[in-house]
Structure 1
Amino acid sequence: MSGFYDLTCKDGKGEDFSFENFKGKVVLIFNSASKCGFTKQLDGLEELNKKYKDQGLVVVGFPCNQFAGQEPGTNEDIVTFCKLTYGVSFPMMDKIDVNGDNESPVYKYLKSQKSGLLGLKRIKWNFEKFIINKEGKVVNRYASTTSPESLEKEIETLLK
């Protein structure tokens, strides 16, 4: 399997995006949904983004409609909602599947590097989070219930 920096995806405008752009950065990736009970976490994710982006943090959202149909909109709808409702300024990528036959290669890779609770490979719900260090190693995976604020100390350590 290739490494983290070999991954590619489509951005929210449908343009090709290479993870080589993340070299030397700490990356926080999560799967999102606009109509989820955890959607309010976008506030905390944006706060982390604003506080640490100049120090090398990149926050990246991957919209996903696989959990109770909670992300029904188009990419344009999603980006507009996130920007207007939560002030999101970090990249929201193309809507993807995070599990199953059509899962994104990005999530296939992330899950291969860090299992969830009890060794589960699948993403359980919206707003699961992965932290990748400056060398492109997936160092941690967090459940949906983990608040963005609780990741701050780890992010600070990885940015040093």
Structure 2
Amino acid sequence: MSLHDVECHTPQGEPFNLRALRGQVLLVVNVASQCGFTSQLGELEALYREHRERGFTVLGFPCNQFAKQSPESAEQFCAFGERQFGVTFPLMEKVEVNGRGAHPLFQRLKAEAPGWLGTRAIKWNFTKFLVARDGRVLKRFGPRDGAAAMLTDLERALDET
């Protein structure tokens, strides 16, 4: 099963067709509204706007597993992201990224791109996974990694055909 076959939903609970994003470079991120890294939403939006014409999409999944830093509903998170940071990239359903309730997409991402010393658990909000056009997970970036830290890898992925 391809990463593009994993079932995802919009903030309203409607199915989201990941298969429609085959051929795009993806950056999948667990996001939060009350985190010290929340300003990265603006950086992610800037990356998205700059590279979307080349086949790049950011997918943000609100997550409340880390110090309860995203207590609102997914729909409320969408309104917050748009209002505060001008977010236009797709924001998805609210998920868990660790534990028994971890969303299958994040289970897959963690398995294909383990963290420091091979750990699979996501340590905090704004962990990012760069996914190639064919669905391969290319790299995992930590919460402190902003747009500048990802740019070389993103450009390389966008240049792959």
What TM-score, normalized to structure 2? 0.96
Distance 2:99 2:150 in 1: 28
State the number of aligned residues.
Answer: 159
Deviations 1:98-157 (A, max 9, x none): 001111001011111110011100100000000001111000001101112221222112
SS in 2 for 1:29: strand
The question of whether the paired residues in 2 share the 8 Å contact of 1:12 and 1:76 is answered with: yes
Rounded to whole Å, the distance in 2 between the matches of 1:149 and 1:30 is 16
Report the aligned-residue RMSD: 0.8
Secondary structure of 2:28's aligned partner: strand
* Cα distance in structure 2, aligned partners of 1:88 and 1:117: 30
SS at match of 1:82: helix
The residue number in structure 1 matching 2:38 is 39
**Displacement over 3 Å in runs of 4+:** none
Tell me the alpha carbon deviations over residues 19-70 of structure 1, each in whole angstroms, 9 at most, x when there is no partner. 2011100000000000000000011100000000011000010000000000
For the 8 Å contact 1:44–1:149, the answer to whether it is kept is no
Report what 1:60 is aligned to.
Answer: 59
Instruction: Determine the structure 1 residue equivalent to 2:140.
Output: 141
- Matches of 2:51 and 2:11 in 1, distance apart? 22
Quick one: which amino acid aligns to residue 19 of structure 1? L
**Take 1:148 and 1:158, find their aligned partners in 2: how far apart are those partners?**
14
Aligned residues of 1:12 and 1:91 also touching (Cα < 8 A): no
Change in 2 beyond 3 A, CA 1:149/1:13: farther
Which runs of 5 or more residues in structure 2 are unaligned?
none
Residue 115 (structure 1) aligns with = 114
> Which ranges in structure 1 are unaligned for 5 or more consecutive residues?
none
Which residue matches 2:4? 5
Shift of 1:86: 0.3
SS of the counterpart of 1:48?
helix
For residue 130 of structure 2, what is the amino acid of its counterpart?
Answer: I
Identity %: 38
